[in-house]
Amino acid sequence: MLEDFISIHDLTLYEFSQVLDLTQEIKTHPQRFRNKLNRKILAMIFQKPSLRTRMTFEVGMLQLGGEAVYLGPSDIQMGTRESIHDVGQNLERWIDGVMIRTFDHQDVLDLAESSAIPVINGLTDLLHPCQAMADFFTLKEKRIDLTNLKLAYLGDGNNVCHSLLLAAAKTGTRIAVATPPGYEPKEEILKIVEQDGKETGSTFTLTHDPEEAVQEAAAVYTDVWASMGQEEEKEERAKIFTPFQVNKTLMAKAKPDAFFMHCLPAHRGEEVTAEVINSSQSVVFDQAENRLHVQKAIMLLLMRKKS
């Protein structure tokens, strides 16, 4: 039974489908779930900014009958004012779950280790699992057969890319990642993806050629070129990543009517043109909406059993 939600790799194939199925049920019949986490409390630790993650976890808890408490970077100063271990030990005495967004992935693992309550990863430098679950739910909702899908990811081999690779490995999806040289996904993640993919027949390819990646793709995904914490590299990265911009010409090389996907926030004119993100092929706000439904499912699976 899943105790924390830190990496998609930790989910069994059954648990992965269970999250997607429960998400569908919650999205279709939200009223049936409105008291399922009655009076439960989630702490939300944010060491980085957020719109979607903050809103969807807080709104999700409210819609399930519980509450959420926001802890910003200056509130707890995790690791400097107090050790992660002690933060975890305190929180478990008061509340029912923790969502954490931070830099170092190890901090999330340490928090989970030091606390008996469920810990949910709301983004680290390494992974963004809630995002990828919402993205795969979105594709499924669009009646895409995930086992027969080619997904193209263009840009930085970052946290979002890693979690998409891990999700693809659970569904049998074919994923092509195009990055500039030196910005490929991490070797440690690729090893896990290769291993997990054996169970489902999922394959991935890495290339430095965006046109090659989008060929036959039913969905084209991109993310910002400089992630949170990389602001000082922004200008240098803008030069390196320019050939990876998702524009109309590139979209025309994917399947006709391929979906355009982005985790948001997006920078129009950088990783994607306004024309593409504002087009009818774009599903970015469906992805954002589905963060809410998918995270309600994750919180229910993790926090309901203790009621």
Residues annotated as catalytic (active site), given as ranges: 101, 128, 131, 223, 263, 291
Other C-beta atoms closer than 10 Å to the C-beta of 150 total 22
Our CB check for ligand CP shows the closer of 122 and 157 to be 122
Binding span for ligand NVA by CB under 6 A among 57-65, 173-181, 211-219, 222-230: 222-230
3-state secondary structure of 280: coil
Residues 41-70 that bind ligand NVA (CB under 6 A): none
Nearest-approach distance from CB 263 to ligand NVA, in angstroms: 5
| 206 contact choice in ligand NVA, ligand CP, none (CB below 5 to 8 Å, kind-dependent) | none
Q: Find where tokens 């009076």 sit.
A: 39
Q: Find where tokens 């997904």 sit.
A: 151
**224 makes contact with ligand NVA (CB under 6 A):** yes
Other C-beta atoms closer than 10 Å to the C-beta of 261 total 28
Q: How many residues bind ligand CP (CB under 6 A)?
A: 9
Give the whole-angstrom CA distance, residue 112 versus residue 145: 34
Binding span for ligand NVA by CB under 6 A among 199-207, 223-231, 235-243, 293-301: 223-231
CA dihedral 131, 18, 195, 264 (to 10 degrees): -10
At CA 36, angle to CA 284 and CA 132, rounded to 5? 25
Tell me the sheet residues that pair with 46. Answer: 101
What are phi and psi for residue 302, nearest 5 degrees? -85, -35
- Round the CA-based radius of gyration of the chain to a whole number and report it: 19
Residues 110-129 that bind ligand CP (CB under 6 A): 123
**270 makes contact with ligand NVA (CB under 6 A):** no
Nearest-approach distance from CB 157 to ligand NVA, in angstroms: 10
Nearest-approach distance from CB 38 to ligand CP, in angstroms: 26
Binding span for ligand CP by CB under 6 A among 12-20, 46-54, 206-214, 237-245: 46-54
Our CB check for ligand NVA shows the closer of 113 and 236 to be 236
Give the whole-angstrom CA distance, residue 166 versus residue 172: 10
Give the whole-angstrom CA distance, residue 113 versus residue 222: 33
Binding span for ligand NVA by CB under 6 A among 24-32, 79-87, 154-162, 206-214: 154-162
34 close to 63: Cβ distance less than 8 angstroms: yes
**264 makes contact with ligand CP (CB under 6 A):** yes
Q: Footprint of ligand NVA on this chain (CB under 6 A)?
A: 123, 158-160, 223-224, 227-228, 263
Q: Footprint of ligand CP on this chain (CB under 6 A)?
A: 50-53, 123, 131, 263-265
